[in-house]
């Protein structure tokens, strides 16, 4: 049995971005390469699909490409598959929320639908929020179609409790570290315990959301020297 966890969207408080978090993400992403398999081909989404999605997001007012956006240099991956650089697009929170809670299915997806679209590639949306924006962030979280894994990264236990109380996910990692990789295999994944993987959104999955325990993994440290060193060049 194995499990996976990939970050699709990052809601970063302004206090975190002020620390240079986005620059650190960019520097880490730049270390990924096809030669050492720290990034690789994607089978379920082509490079063109990812590029088109990036273009759609960059059409949102205030959006900007933080890093990536192009194919891996020198790759020989066949065209039907993907070979994209690790990519991140920043979208302002107020723009990301446009269409949140509205009926879906229009000819052109709303900003919210576009920003929360699941792209199975090395890609993520990043937005920033500040004091007073937490209700908007919680609204964005709870209107997502699939509540899989999430992480609440903070040293403020009262803040963590407030977010945990207002959100529902199959597995939630909470604390100053809140690492979502390398977790024990018995952790629930999907809608709070649906064992069939493909059952997201079905009546059976919905029933299991409210009829099994919720998995919350508290991860507060300690931080050893290996985590404080810059990534290898």
- Tokens representing residue 95 in the block: 């723009």
For residues 146 and 6, the answer to whether their CB atoms sit within 8 Å is no
| 126 and 155, same domain (yes or no) | no
Above 50 in pLDDT, residue 142?
yes
pLDDT classification of 229: cutoffs 50, 70, 90: low
| 64 and 159, same domain (yes or no) | no
| 184 and 214, same domain (yes or no) | yes
For residues 115 and 57, the answer to whether their CB atoms sit within 8 Å is yes
| 196 and 133, same domain (yes or no) | no
Phi-psi category of residue 193: left, alpha or beta, with phi > 0 → left and psi -120 to 50 → alpha: left
Helices (H) and strands (E) in the chain, counts: 9, 7
Q: What is the pLDDT of residues 25-44, one digit of tens each?
A: 999 999 999 999 899 999 98
| 126 and 32, same domain (yes or no) | yes
| 110 and 84, same domain (yes or no) | yes
Q: Of 143, 178, 207, which one is at a domain's C-terminal end?
A: 143
pLDDT > 90 fraction of the chain, expressed in percent and rounded: 56
Q: Can you give the residue range of the structural domain that contains 94?
A: 1-143
pLDDT classification of 205: cutoffs 50, 70, 90: low
Q: Of 119, 143, 167, which one is at a domain's C-terminal end?
A: 143
Residue 184 CB contacts under 8 Å (≥ 6 apart), including other chains: none
| 119 and 23, same domain (yes or no) | yes
pLDDT classification of 202: cutoffs 50, 70, 90: low
Check residues 57 and 206 and name the one with the higher pLDDT. Answer: 57
| 25 and 14, same domain (yes or no) | yes
| 122 and 158, same domain (yes or no) | no
| 97 and 151, same domain (yes or no) | no
> Helix H segments across 59-110?
93-96
Q: Global pTM? A: 0.82
What gap in Å lies between CA 6 and CA 45, rounded to an integer?
15
Provide the domain count of the chain.
2
What gap in Å lies between CA 83 and CA 76, rounded to an integer?
9
């Amino acid at each position: 049995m194995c499990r996976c966890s990939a970050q699709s969207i990052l809601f970063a408080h302004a206090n975190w971005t002020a620390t240079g978090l986005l620059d650190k993400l960019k520097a880490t992403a730049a270390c990924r390469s096809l030669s050492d398999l720290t990034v690789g081909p994607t089978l379920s989404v082509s490079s063109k699909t990812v590029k088109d999605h990036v273009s759609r997001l960059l059409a949102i007012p205030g959006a900007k490409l933080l890093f990536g956006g192009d194919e891996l240099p020198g790759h020989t991956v066949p065209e039907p598959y993907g070979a994209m650089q690790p990519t991140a697009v920043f979208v302002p929170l107020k723009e990301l929320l446009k269409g949140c809670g509205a009926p879906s299915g229009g000819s052109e997806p709303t900003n919210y639908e576009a920003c929360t679209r699941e792209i199975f590639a090395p890609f993520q949306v990043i937005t920033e929020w500040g004091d007073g924006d937490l209700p908007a962030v919680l609204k964005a979280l709870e209107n997502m179609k699939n509540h899989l894994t999430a992480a609440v990264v903070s040293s403020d236990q009262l803040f963590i409790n407030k977010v945990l109380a207002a959100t529902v996910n199959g597995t939630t990692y909470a604390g100053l570290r809140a690492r979502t990789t390398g977790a024990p295999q018995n952790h629930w994944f999907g809608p709070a315990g649906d064992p069939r993987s493909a059952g997201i959104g079905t009546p059976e999955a919905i029933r299991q959301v409210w009829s099994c325990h919720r998995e919350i993994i508290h991860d507060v440290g300690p931080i050893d020297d290996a985590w404080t060193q810059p990534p290898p060049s």
